[in-house]
Structure 1
Amino acid sequence: MPVDGRIPTLSRGTTAEEVATLLRDLIMGGTLKPGEQLREEGLSAQFDVSRRTVRDALGILARERIVRHYRHRGSRVVLFTENDIHDLYRVRKTLEGSAAAKADELTDAQLKVLTEAFENLADATRAGNANEIVSRDLEFHQAVVGLIGSPRVDDFFAGIAVEMRYALSILESTYHESSKRPAEALDEHRAIWAAFVNRNVAEATRLVEAHADSNERLLVDAVAATDVVHLAP
């Protein structure tokens, strides 16, 4: 079992949600790699929980689109394709572009939420914790989408948030922006924040699209270079 020795033993009372949380953290942190197989029997023994609990946990992660189940081959950590990346960023650019189009209509209350999200990202960048930076980065973009002012759009973005965080963690593990170019990465987000604060529709639109395009290109390259685990079915 590829994850032996890397996962703590859990109690028999552990729920599927708790197992899913642990596996999710291992995927986001790169311990479980793209393409790695997740065998129910091995995880059940490792966690000391039932196979049903493991199966339910994998189902949670499958719905979040970071685990995929293959018929007769079991479950594996998602290995993004180039088409996956383009599709994910098509959604992101559509939503953030819609937010940018409303930049001149934003209220002070809405901008306060965006400012708090940017400040949290800045604090995480200064602290230098890569996982925290990835989380705060996603929360900043979630706050941008929140400027649309639609609870249904917010719910939709929340539905792809785990998948987006996985994409951002692949970017971080490949390019190590938090350690190699922390100031530059933060400056890109600062510019987006400033464009919204200044209620500048044209600048906000240009910057969110440029930032997403840049990340999309990097992620396509990162996926091609990802340290993939190929296991026999």
Structure 2
Amino acid sequence: MAAAGSMDQFASLRRGTTAEELATVLREMIMTGALAPEEQLREEHLSERFEVSRRTVRDALGILAHERIVRHYRHRGSRVVRFTEQDIRDLYRVRRTLEGAAAREVRRASGEKLEKLERAFDELARATATGVAAEIVRCDLEFHRAVVAILGSARFDEFFTAIAVEMRYAIAMLESAYAESKLRPDEALEEHRAIYTALASRDVGLAERLVEEHARQNEELLVKALAQPDPS
């Protein structure tokens, strides 16, 4: 469960709040751990907490369920997702497939795509310097989105977007378990720098190997974290 009082960091929403706005707040609470894996999301409680209608809460939870970070159980209500090992394996299999394909296509990538990747890396470096975990997680995801964008395919971009919230949740779990932003910020950033440099120099073999190694390492770390006892 989330720490007592952790919801207090999120101010009550204004009257007339939409389901999308409430979903945004709840999503951030999940990403930061203010709402913990398997925590029950009671419509009545959330309605009172955020001073919105139960219909708004219900619709917001539906949005998060569509993003696969909340699950609805018949007769038991909604809970924050706790990833299984298979969830992690599936997500990283998709990511390796997309990013590996991007590495193989990088020789044909436009200068605009590589400039976008450079900006994404610069933003990740800036975020790493701040040490703010949530910002690092966000920029980490945007870096990998820019890698996939090298493919120059709207369909692949949309496919990445479809799993982006789950991937952000996975990266946030990785940060929570291993505190990379505090314990090895330079090492974690250098892994991304190596990927960026290989792609920017259009070194297909090296880029493909690095994106595979990076994804595989994170996949195994997450699987290991799932096996650890819940500290709560």
For the criterion TM > 0.5, the same-fold answer is yes
The TM-score with structure 2 as length reference comes to 0.94
Aligned residue for 1:76, secondary structure, equals strand
Q: Name the residue aligned to 1:134.
A: 137
How far 1:226 moved relative to its partner? Answer: 6.3
2:157 is aligned with 1:154: yes
Cα distance in 1 for residues equivalent to 2:207 and 2:225: 27
- Residue 190 (structure 2) aligns with: 187
Q: Secondary structure at the match of 2:72?
A: strand
Please give the alpha-carbon distance, in whole angstroms, between the structure 2 residues aligned to 1:156 and 1:28. Answer: 21
Hey, what does 2:85 align to over in structure 1? 82
1:224 Cα deviation after fit: 2.2
Query: What code does the residue aligned with 1:24 have?
Result: R
Structure 2, unmatched stretches of 5+, are none
Distance verdict in 2 for CA 1:220–1:98, change over 3 Å: same
Normalising to structure 1: TM-score of the pair?
0.94
Would you say 1:60 and 2:63 are equivalent positions? yes
Q: Which residue type is aligned with residue 122 of structure 1?
A: A
What is the 5 A alignment of 1:1-233? 5=5, 6-7=7-8, 8-225=11-228, 227=230
Change (3 A) 1:226 1:143: farther
In the alignment, the residues of structure 1 paired with residue 225 and residue 191 of structure 2 have an alpha-carbon distance, to the nearest angstrom, of: 20
Aligned-partner SS, 1:92? helix
Which blocks of at least 5 consecutive residues in structure 1 are unaligned? none
Is the Cα contact below 8 Å between 1:4 and 1:46 reproduced in 2? no
Moved over 3 A (4+): 1-5, 226-229
Q: Deviations over 1:62-119 (max 9, x none)?
A: 0111000011111000000000000011110110011011122222222111111001
Q: Distance in 1 between matches of 2:154 and 2:172?
A: 26
| Distance in 2, Cα, partners of 1:2 & 1:143 | 33
2: CA distance, partners of 1:13 / 1:193:
44
1:138, CA displacement in angstroms? 0.3
Taking the aligned partners of 1:159 and 1:178, their CA distance within structure 2 comes to 26
**Alpha-carbon distance between aligned partners in 2 of 1:96 and 1:79, rounded to the nearest angstrom:** 25
The answer (yes or no) to whether the contact 1:16–1:57 under 8 Å persists in 2 is yes
CA distance in 1 between counterparts of 2:149 and 2:102 reads: 8
Q: Is the 8 A contact 1:36 1:228 kept in 2?
A: no
Q: Could you say if the C-alpha distance between residues 2 and 117 of structure 1 is closer, same or farther in structure 2, counting changes exceeding 3 Å? A: closer
Could you report, residue by residue, the CA deviation over 1:104-140 in whole angstroms, capped at 9, with x for unpaired residues? 2222222111111001101111111111000000000
Measured after TM superposition, the shift of residue 17 of structure 1 is 1.0
Shift of 1:156: 1.1
Identity %: 62
Question: What residue identity is the alignment partner of 2:155?
Answer: R
Aligned-pair distance for 1:228?
7.6
Shift of 1:47: 1.2
Matched residue type, 1:137: D
**Contact in 1 for aligned 2:71/2:80 (Cα 8 Å):** yes
